[in-house]
Structure 1
């Protein structure tokens, strides 16, 4: 299962390494016109956003009281952080959005929406929810505010409210962002046909190459999640034709290549992806492919990069716990750290994805009774997530429930026979016994 509008932890390698929590916005977030305010719309590509920021700063030097411009500048910095995976923009975003509220404290939906988006980007979903509610109260026609509201509800595990919020967003503005969010909610509910239909609509209304590549990537991931390698490969290829070298698409294509047995091709794509976007998820996949290729030294070095970067992050941003880090430590011999991170994240973000990761951490620590409760709740929406079924199957086997455990392993392989280079062979071996 993918976190459709969530960026995983990012490892920055250089003189120092750090794991950074990145944004959660879906696609380019477009400003709207409403009875309350008219906001200038910055273009979505990185260079256009940079130019927009420069023009807006120059404008604000001349007209420092323009609260709309301050709000737009703040959101532009949130967008730059998202598309460039650079949280250095967050303080600039916060300063601009606070200035907008200082200039216009009442009815300033644009600034409140921006602060909600910034809080979500920092994985502070309780704050994101509070800002989004205030934004909706200030401007009931703000599709962007309903987008942030949807994101916050999803990450807080409040799925009925998320469905209501995304319906408001679609009613106000049926675009790639609103259709993509709706697609994800149907995916979480196990309705893959409806999820594909809505993501196809997101593709059809895509406003630029970035939106198009986004929709193609997630159509490919829906196909991958269902074990349809041919469709997944075609979608990722189409996305890369529009955005050559896009790291998430390269990492997705690498999974298809690895599933087909093309380990050298998978390594080439993963090395290119991690050179640009070294997320924990991408690095863990690279480690698995290196292990499958027999390069255990390279795999160990890749794993150590994640560990060192996380230690540095613990000193500077201890709240930036990511699901992929929980799974990494559960899979790489540090169950105590996996449980600690899982417990902390679940306390503030009780989504089904976090439930599933926390269950796996508890299993790694030997607490399978507690793990089973979280594994069950992680599948409470009947999500077609092969890894979630695999995790619960292993937990059930550890508790002596051979029938239930084997049923879950079989279900994981039915959903996607290629779900994990690490664990799919284990599932097949267990079922063959």
Structure 2
């Protein structure tokens, strides 16, 4: 499934700052880091700091600085910025304790970034109590509700956000609500509206990236390649766009070019999910030893993150279940407790299947598809669980659905889906 990171646009010293409100609206894929050089080029932190040197009591700029730190942590993956964000937002509230919706919304974005979605919801609602018309706070609330699996409330909040401010941030969230409900056409239309409304090149590149991922999710490689390429013209070197184009190349059979692209990206951004995907590509390309080495690197990087208190995410849980790691189920439980929505349910089901408990796994796989999400990976997971339960006809239907939705959905799992279908017969 596709992991989406949504937009939360707030004005920062006249600059449109795109702040992601959690790792968030993001159930299906890795975080979306960019290189530190790219982040520095678009980072408004220095401008905020210069202004605060002149106006140290400017509570609004302190709040904006906190939001900027949240954004930088999100795009670089450096969690050291989160305490800086907390300090700046706290300073804003010290100066202006009451009626400070900007800082409260910032605390909500920070809590979501740390995967504390109940706290994100609480802060977002506190911001709305101060300013019911603050679109950024509506975004925080919508994102938190989505990750908590409270979809009806989340969708109503997104609609309110669109009604209040039909801009790139609200259209991007609207796109995701349609994607969750399985309406890829409306999801694409809403993301095109986000593209049209985006004022900054980085925001337009964001929309291009997700339009490319929507197209790739349906197996439309040509359209996906076009969007990824256009996005890279707007934001050269952006790792998510580059890896999107690499996946298209792999799907077209050019595994060597895809491997080279992933290696190049990883020199700038050592993201564990990209390392794991490189391992899959190397294995598929006929070098299982090199693939296993990359898988070991990814495993070690995720273990290091966990040792620092980083909350569980879907990617490492699914990876652990893929490799039959005995720790996968415990990690899945912790993820599902924090995020009892589609992402957590899918990971929980896959980990239960890896633990040899397919009957329990099926209940979670059903939950992951309850909204009608057209995810090839989720259908594949459900199909393999059904195969374990010897429900042959149902398993065939699910695996055929996965491959019909996107024959290229996973370098690792698409071949397994085909082989399993062949073994099940007709």
1:324 equivalent in structure 2: 315
Equivalent residues of 1:342, 1:358 under 8 A apart:
yes
How far is the alpha carbon of 1:49 from its aligned partner? Answer: 5.3
Native 8 Å contact 1:128 1:149 kept in 2: yes
Other-structure match for 1:3: 3
Instruction: Say whether residues 1:246 and 2:238 are aligned partners.
Output: yes
SS in 1 for 2:127: helix
1:82 Cα offset (Å): 2.1
Give me the whole-angstrom Cα distance separating, in 1, the residues matched to 2:238 and 2:16. 19
Indicate the residue corresponding to 2:35 in structure 1: none
Paired residue for 2:31? none
Quote how far apart the aligned CAs of 1:43 are.
Answer: 4.6
Deviates more, 1:107-116 or 1:161-170: 161-170
- Mark the CA change 1:175 to 1:189 in structure 2 (over 3 Å): closer, same or farther: same
Q: TM-score, normalised by structure 1?
A: 0.89
Indicate conservation of the 8 Å contact 2:13/2:47, yes or no.
no
Partner of 1:421: 411
Alpha-carbon distance change, 132 to 429 in structure 1, aligned in 2, over 3 angstroms: same
Shift of 1:47: 4.1
Contact 1:190–1:381 at 8 Å: present in 2 too?
Answer: yes
2:146–2:341 CA contact under 8 A, matched in 1 = yes
Residues 78-108 of structure 1, C-alpha deviations (whole Å, 9 max, x = no match): 1222233322211111001011111111111
Q: 1:49 to 1:216 in 2, by over 3 A?
A: closer
Task: Look up the SS of the partner of 2:328 in the other structure.
Answer: helix
Which residue is 2:350 aligned to? 360
3-state SS of the aligned residue for 1:30?
A: strand
CA distance in 2, matches of 1:143, 1:70: 19
C-alpha offsets along residues 21-58 of structure 1, whole Å, 9 cap, x if unaligned? xxxxx346223xxxxxxx744354744654x4334334
Deviation at 1:67, TM superposition (A): 1.3
CA shift digits 1:170-196 (9 cap, x unpaired): 122211111011101100000111101
What is the aligned partner in structure 2 of residue 86 from structure 1? 78
Task: Name the counterpart of 2:359.
Answer: 369
Q: Distance in 2 between matches of 1:56 and 1:411?
A: 50
Q: Distance in 2 between matches of 1:155 and 1:186?
A: 15
What residue in structure 2 maps to residue 99 of structure 1? 91
Matched residue SS, 1:320: coil
For residue 42 of structure 1, what is the aligned residue in structure 2?
15
Is the Cα–Cα contact under 8 Å of residues 227 and 416 in structure 1 kept in the other structure? yes
Gaps of 5+ in 1: 6-25, 32-38
| Residue 178 of structure 1: aligned partner | 170
- Aligned to 1:297, the other structure's residue is in SS state helix
**Is residue 128–residue 134 contact of structure 2 (8 Å, CA) maintained in 1?**
yes
Residues 41, 113 of structure 1: CA spacing in aligned structure 2 closer, same or farther, 3 A cutoff? farther
Change (3 A) 1:408 1:154: same
Alignment of 1:18-417 (within 5 A): 26-27=6-7, 29-31=9-11, 40-44=13-17, 46-47=39-40, 50=43, 52-317=44-309, 319-334=310-325, 336-417=326-407
In 2, the alpha carbon distance for the partners of 1:342 and 1:272 equals 31
Equivalent residues, number: 403
Aligned-pair distance for 1:251?
1.1
Q: Compute the displacement of 1:411 (Å).
A: 0.7
Q: C-alpha separation between the residues in 2 aligned to 1:246 and 1:60? A: 31
**What secondary structure is seen at the aligned counterpart in 2 of 1:392?**
helix
Structure 2 Cα separation of the partners of residues 258 and 388 of structure 1: 21
Cα distance in 2, alignment partners of residues 400 and 331 from structure 1: 20
Higher relative contact order (CA 8 A, sep 6+): 1
